[in-house]
Structure 1
Amino acid sequence: MSVTHDILEADDSLFGSLLRQDPELAEILLAERRRQSTTLQLIAAENFTSRAVLAALGSPLANKYAEGYPGARHHGGCEIVDVAERLAVERARELFGAEHVNVQSHSGSSAVLAAYAALLRPGDTVLALGLPYGGHLTHGSPANFSGRWFAFVGYGVDAETGLIDYDQVRTLARTHRPKAIVCGSIAYPRHLDYAFFRDVADEVGAYLVADAAHPIGLVAGGAAPSPVPYADVVCATTHKVLRGPRGGMILCGGELAERVDRAVFPFTQGGAQMHTIAAKAVAFGEAATPAYAAYAHQVIANARTLAAHLAAEGLVVTTGGTDTHLITADPAPLGVDGKSARGRLAAAGIVLDCCALPHGDARGLRLGTAALTTQGMGEREMRAVATLLAEVLRGGTDAAAAREDVRDLLVEFPPYPD
């Protein structure tokens, strides 16, 4: 492969070093940047970090081994990285109103693993949203540690509305008396009733674990209800809407702080990734600003507009709309299933996911507005995206023509403007 420089920043000395030493790998990075810059990023779990977050990720903190916690490390020379971790923790505590925050989890899944390790023992019963209705792999998949180590019971959604069947949640909790109840989803577009889940957990003597990987960025911007006042433990990611580095975090009350910290290290993880923790601190600082709050509210406004126009174009939007950044929709009325639709749209430069649809074997589409909103797009662009997406699925626009339309739109909205 030949190295191209069309989108390489002239003053990027770190990339310049990579370019000189390993041009083959440098070209791969450039190719991915071109892909991100010339296609619509509608994957609900993705976003664009700030340049400041990227700078922290590429910093000398990547060199430091730091097993343990600030003031109690297993390695010397941690006095500087201790400051970075304390800063990340304090910013997160203030941002979310949590008594304790652990910022060391490498991912959302590892955060959930640590939460379970802190609260449960193998064989305990756990009540969570069933996987066919949007539950995550860590909510009881037999392919995952959760489904192998714990006895999961799945609650579902109403067949007509697609909304969580809260009556079923209470009934199942009374019947199975779980040790923990999990509320959270990867494909449920509505706000959760955290107060209800707290009430049920108290009734049956269960811990309440909120898996807030998707909505936590909206919570940070004051655009979604917070699970922190209700849940014993909140697990989250720092990417997605929050726009930080890929990683996880755990929020809890002070009474569970030691158990949670020990569940992260040494029980489930080794050394903390200090460059990532520093990047989390940057993201938490950004999320505490009025500009971020405006962004979070615009993400939802964009999602609602996109959902409404997808419905107008003939797709069936589950639950009739969205409260968040996330939309799930059935493209079957346009003559295509979810898996085929994802492939057809990818060829047209529209990148999204497919997902299970409730009450059936069909696959639908899962998409989100966080990344496009970061690029500066608004409701006008959401209407254009909905029209283009539907035209591609109907066959009214071929892939090549659609790619040109996508590139024309993105000229005005680059992910990293100069």
Structure 2
Amino acid sequence: MNIARIRSLVVKELLAVLRDKKSRIALFMPPILQLGIFAFAATLEVKNVSLAVLDKDGGKAAVELAQRFSGSPYFTRVFALAGQGQVAPTLENERAMAVLVLDENFSRDVAAGRQATAQLLLDGRRSNAAQIVEGYAQFVVKQYNDDLYAKRGLTGLPATLVARNWFNPNLDYLWFTVPNLIGMLSMIVGLVVTSLSVARERELGTFDQLLVSPLSPWEILVGKTLPAMILGIVESVAIVAAAILLFRIPCHGSLMTLAFCMVLYLFSVVGFGLFISSLCNTQQQAILGTFTFMIPATLLSGFATPLETMPQALQILSLANPMRHFLAAVRGIMLKGMPFDMALDTVWPLAPIAVVTLALAGWFFRRGLD
């Protein structure tokens, strides 16, 4: 074994990687980017919880309990509801993670030494977060009771909190996980097929043949988009069927609405895939680019950790993430029967995302043609 020859080969390989600008970027940027996102986004804490309060009583005890929630570090946004009719839209539109309902006799029961009941309605679509928020609320009520014991000498249990989970009454974790997997696995298919397509053509030397063919850049773009869309739709249909038939996930909404959202979602995913592919010269670079995009996209979608726990800058950045919008829609359609107009309000950002990414990919194709 010749140490000098091995040393020369090692130096040659290092120089080959470090002298190539794209290789340097692909080598160093993904870890730095993912370190920053993981540090702030990958947390199992539930913070910055939004709580709506429906105070039907208005008495001293009810107001005091509501103020306890406002002063709690766990609930950073506490707002009042005007009536019972606002409870369902607040949870459905995810304006709040929970709604605290204080009935008409709450203050009277506390003053009379009877057990007063407060109801906590939770968004069960996020089963893990719902359990944690319920624990926070129970702690606030416990402190409220302890203070009543100390100050007023009340006997018994002055106030009790009864929790009820909407959309997922038993907090079955599969009801949360499987709909999210529909979005993540569909993204993987769309990204892999498209991100490797142009890079593979360039690596094999056939991309130049495409450029000198009668096909225009936009025709090339459409020809690369449709196969990925077809494969993505077939894969997505299989995943949805498995979710409903094998995992017994309920689908209370329209399958046509879900299909519309899925097609729009795949268009935006394919746009990102083609954009990544148009920047890469080799399949290895395309795989690294896909990996670099997939991990942050998953973290910034609300799949593993709630978006409201993340810094404001990451929440704004997540608006450009197609998975964020689609996961909210697929959970809403399957678990609570979200109608088409509400689903459209959720997924409409996917259209400009698809337009921008496909336009950027087409621009890079035109640069290649020039």
The TM-score range, normalised by the shorter chain, is: under 0.3
TM-score, normalised via structure 1 length:
0.25
Give TM-score scaled by structure 2 length: 0.27
Larger Rg: 2
Instruction: Name the structure, 1 or 2, with higher relative contact order (CA <8 Å, separation 6+).
Output: 1
The structure that is strand-richer by fraction is 1
Q: Which structure's residues are more often helix, by fraction?
A: 2
